[in-house]
Structure 1
């Protein structure tokens, strides 16, 4: 583990999770047990002035990321914070830490290098949901690969991670892609540093191809420049290999003959979706994640000629239940987690606001309390006057009437201050952090 140092106020770096040409990801620690994943981008920003092109672009793209979290999605990592490091002037994005393996780890021993059809459809459904959610608010991920999709061991959902590339400028992206290690998942247009909604669709297709076939369409043989150029040219020019043929070759030997036969019955609609996602021209792919998600939904709820309809429908209901459970958890947990991110000045301001509200409530109720004492004074005055025995009965009746009025006044007065004090409690902010979670 690398030496602990502070990334920014209240956020310590607890060691690198992974490094790469497009930035490094560190484990971050805030107050108490709060652990996060912090992406440091490789290009420094030396001026925090809106006149600086890189800084202005960073702010604009971060604002888009903020919209991603306005409505929590169980298949998209939550963005907690962003800023510039205290030393080194590197922009960073702080995200929730997802506990569980990524797809790259799930495809390596002791796991099988291939997924069952049921699990492929589950991931296809949830990743399409994630892309639809992001694209609706104008966010293009640009770096979808096996290592950026994690299986959440607590919810059973797949989660899309690492939006670091999405906040880079076109020039920064072109520079980082020359050294990126995920060229096997890059769309043809990314060779020019371009990122479209259809770019994410292409990478989505590569993911599904890898899960079904046990390998990506165009594997990288080594990290040399020649091998990298060969893979990129293959994305640009070569036809996509037959996914079913590769699946048959790579079926796990541990599977029985019956299971192998069953696992070769890949639904035709799933193969068609993969083929469309991997079109060379962006115009021939799904336009965005929403269109892709609609295609997945349409096929998973319709009757299938592949004999898998009932399994697919049941799986989708299971996925929706898991998503709703996590969504409820995220919304209920949002306020508690955001309290950690409230700055000291903001916290002090909130304390002052609460004190002012209580003080205002006390002053507001004081006239009512004064009114409660008036009948008592009147009664005391009556008892001090000299009265004749003939009027005692009348005075007694009068005092009883005043006492009854006093009780009625007391009841109404108690009700009013309580209702008045409750109002500020219903005006709490929905979230307190820099980003809604």
Structure 2
């Protein structure tokens, strides 16, 4: 008989949102205050325990930790509204009541973007900061998550940002359902993200740091460091050193490799002292090559290549990432920050993504030109090395590459305009004249 109500009709089940090995998640109407919530129903594991006292201990542990979760107060942690135990149709159930996040999880959001559409280091830093802050708050309150992964970060749109905010969910579920020291010591977690000590049944706060490191590795490279079946995963997590992420994504600098590999150390004591320390160090490394807006009184920088970059109003408002084509056919990936103004000059350290370049860093000074009209897409790399638009909207071929041209831009009305006195391409990559 399907589940229909809980708590004497207060929670009315609308539909099932998902299911797993330990239970189901339902969209529910809270009839008392007329709002929709999500309820995770966890099937009782009492059949596992032959000792009734162990079953009672497991229930007490669940209540104790659920109360601890309810006390957490952090903008990036999904709050707990209610919890309880109930016998429905003769089956003991334990449930948690949480906010309903209609936008889904970070995993869903990433899937919708496409596997080949990697986030920029700046975007990854946005998610890293929120995830590390949430986990540190939990650790400070004596809780270890034990199942850090994109599926357990729900998302919420922020109209002031182009990226969503994260809400860490499913706190301690694996540990709660495992009972106490007198109960079965089952190993819980998701193999892709489990630290070596977690495979051995001894999770510590640094286990969450390890799992976050795996998740960030995946965001930066498009794949986790280890893949395979459960047996292979256990062996690799315990014995195999991960490949530096920079070998898979040449945009990443060496500091990112060093910091991320430390967080993935096999022994917890060799990782960072806290997940917060790890997060701050990696954020700094990811933003090291980020854009810097220069003031007019700043001293000119003669070591950088000067160029004019035409972008749309939407790109100026929300930010964008571009692959620029330099003299000699080099391709350089750069990030333009949100809120940029027409005529502003930004210094960026682009990463040379040309095959065989080794990911060299190239300093650039970009003068931003916001094209009028409805220019919403990257300009094409045209045969005559000019930025061009067609029919009021930019045309492009193949990818998001933008040609740094001979200092002219074709605007939507067909007219040409010289945007800057700086040469757009410095022959041979030398200093501007």
Q: Name the TM-score, length of structure 1 as normaliser.
A: 0.57
Q: CA deviation at 1:184?
A: 0.7
Structure ranking higher on relative contact order (CA contacts 8 Å, 6+ apart): 1
The whole-number CA distance in structure 2 between the counterparts of 1:95 and 1:115 is 29
Q: CA deviation at 1:157?
A: 0.7
Superposed, which structure 2 residues align to 1:367-386 within 5 Å? Answer: none
Quick one: which of 58, 65, 75 aligns to 1:61? Answer: 65
Superposed, which structure 2 residues align to 1:243-258 within 5 Å? Answer: 243-247=245-249
Quick one: which of 190, 194, 197 aligns to 2:198? Answer: 190
- Determine helix, strand or coil for the equivalent of 1:90: strand
Task: Please name the residue that 1:5 is paired with.
Answer: 4
Task: Please name the residue that 2:174 is paired with.
Answer: 165
Q: Flag the structure with larger Rg.
A: 1
Judging changes above 3 Å, is the alpha-carbon distance between structure 1 residues 19 and 197 closer, same or farther for their aligned structure 2 residues?
same
- Determine helix, strand or coil for the equivalent of 2:26: strand
Whether the aligned pair in 1 keeps the contact of 2:54 and 2:180 (CA below 8 Å) is: no
Judging changes above 3 Å, is the alpha-carbon distance between structure 1 residues 110 and 202 closer, same or farther for their aligned structure 2 residues?
closer
Alignment of 1:215 onto 2:223: yes
Superposed, which structure 2 residues align to 1:86-105 within 5 Å? Answer: 86-87=87-88, 88-105=91-108
Quick one: which of 240, 243, 258 aligns to 1:241? Answer: 243
Whether the aligned pair in 2 keeps the contact of 1:74 and 1:157 (CA below 8 Å) is: no
Q: Per-residue CA shift, 1:71-122, capped at 9, x if unaligned?
A: 3x22110111111133222222211112313222233255344322221111
Q: Name the TM-score, length of structure 2 as normaliser.
A: 0.58
Q: Per-residue CA shift, 1:15-41, capped at 9, x if unaligned?
A: 332222243322222126522222223
The whole-number CA distance in structure 1 between the counterparts of 2:119 and 2:215 is 11
Bigger shift: residues 270-279 or 136-145: 270-279
- Determine helix, strand or coil for the equivalent of 1:86: strand
Alignment of 1:77 onto 2:41: no
Larger fraction in strand? 2
Superposed, which structure 2 residues align to 1:348-363 within 5 Å? Answer: none
Whether the aligned pair in 2 keeps the contact of 1:22 and 1:176 (CA below 8 Å) is: no
The whole-number CA distance in structure 2 between the counterparts of 1:22 and 1:243 is 34
Judging changes above 3 Å, is the alpha-carbon distance between structure 1 residues 272 and 287 closer, same or farther for their aligned structure 2 residues?
same
Q: CA deviation at 1:55?
A: 1.6
Judging changes above 3 Å, is the alpha-carbon distance between structure 1 residues 12 and 239 closer, same or farther for their aligned structure 2 residues?
same
Q: CA deviation at 1:11?
A: 1.4
Larger fraction in helix? 1
Whether the aligned pair in 2 keeps the contact of 1:84 and 1:91 (CA below 8 Å) is: yes
Whether the aligned pair in 1 keeps the contact of 2:124 and 2:219 (CA below 8 Å) is: yes
Q: CA deviation at 1:5?
A: 0.7
The whole-number CA distance in structure 2 between the counterparts of 1:193 and 1:13 is 35
Judging changes above 3 Å, is the alpha-carbon distance between structure 1 residues 190 and 74 closer, same or farther for their aligned structure 2 residues?
same
The whole-number CA distance in structure 1 between the counterparts of 2:248 and 2:282 is 23
Q: CA deviation at 1:245?
A: 2.4
Superposed, which structure 2 residues align to 1:102-121 within 5 Å? Answer: 102-109=105-112, 111-113=114-116, 114-121=118-125
Q: CA deviation at 1:198?
A: 0.7
Q: CA deviation at 1:299?
A: 5.7
Structure 2, unaligned runs of 5 or more: 294-318, 320-333, 340-433
Q: Per-residue CA shift, 1:279-318, capped at 9, x if unaligned?
A: 11111112333333453566678xx3x3556699x9899x
Whether the aligned pair in 1 keeps the contact of 2:128 and 2:283 (CA below 8 Å) is: no
Q: CA deviation at 1:154?
A: 4.7
Bigger shift: residues 10-19 or 265-274: 265-274
Q: CA deviation at 1:133?
A: 1.3
Task: Please name the residue that 1:203 is paired with.
Answer: 211
Task: Please name the residue that 2:354 is paired with.
Answer: none
Judging changes above 3 Å, is the alpha-carbon distance between structure 1 residues 45 and 173 closer, same or farther for their aligned structure 2 residues?
closer
Structure 1, unaligned runs of 5 or more: 221-226, 248-263, 318-437
Judging changes above 3 Å, is the alpha-carbon distance between structure 1 residues 65 and 190 closer, same or farther for their aligned structure 2 residues?
same
Bigger shift: residues 38-47 or 87-96: 38-47
The whole-number CA distance in structure 2 between the counterparts of 1:153 and 1:90 is 33
Q: Per-residue CA shift, 1:322-375, capped at 9, x if unaligned?
A: xxxxxxxxxxxxxxxxxxxxxxxxxxxxxxxxxxxxxxxxxxxxxxxxxxxxxx
Judging changes above 3 Å, is the alpha-carbon distance between structure 1 residues 207 and 300 closer, same or farther for their aligned structure 2 residues?
closer
Task: Please name the residue that 1:287 is paired with.
Answer: 273
- Determine helix, strand or coil for the equivalent of 1:41: strand
Q: CA deviation at 1:151?
A: 2.2
Q: CA deviation at 1:145?
A: 1.1
Whether the aligned pair in 2 keeps the contact of 1:144 and 1:204 (CA below 8 Å) is: yes
Q: CA deviation at 1:148?
A: 0.6
